[in-house]
A and B are shown apart, each in its own frame.
Chain A
Amino acid sequence: KQEVTQIPAALSVPEGENLVLNCSFTDSAIYNLQWFRQDPGKGLTSLLLIQSSQREQTSGRLNASLDKSSGRSTLYIAASQPGDSATYLCAPNFGNEKLTFGTGTRLTIIP
């Protein structure tokens, strides 16, 4: 069964720190992986899409890496800001019709 795990479930860091969010998955045969943020009571906002042939993808202060062989992806956030507070979800596509979601990491940036 294809499963996605995000640890920790919650994380609090002071403003300005760099941080890493982790995502692990059980099937290394992924097609691509998408990172989303979800604000309370809101929809999912796409942050980055990283293809299976890529090792990294960057957008502004965000950098996503992908290591298929170890079944891991990380989302690096540089110089964190209070506006970064949200739940972050990773969702690999294992080459089928759906995204498989983790349960997310709830991030709080402390001013």
Chain B
Amino acid sequence: AQSVTQLGSHVSVSEGALVLLRCNYSSSVPPYLFWYVQYPNQGLQLLLKYTSAATLVKGINGFEAEFKKSETSFHLTNPSAHMSDAAEYFCAVRNSGGYNKLIFGAGTRLAVHP
């Protein structure tokens, strides 16, 4: 069965600093991986997805993630944090069964301070 582990429930960075949010997955088959962002009192918005094409995936708002099979990781980065990036970030893996079901990590809250 697939699972996702997000290391660090809270990450705090300065505005303009590098953002690194960690995600490790467990999957017996090549995974499909996603990062979603949830702003306060909002729904989830897709940031980016990995679907076995390029291992470096670019998303919205300057975010990107790199799929590393050897490390079973899909870490999310942004070279320069903005105040508006403060939100909850979820890593998810799609189940390998016949139906499209997302299995989410516990989330990482990103705080950006001036």
Same complex for A and B? Answer: no
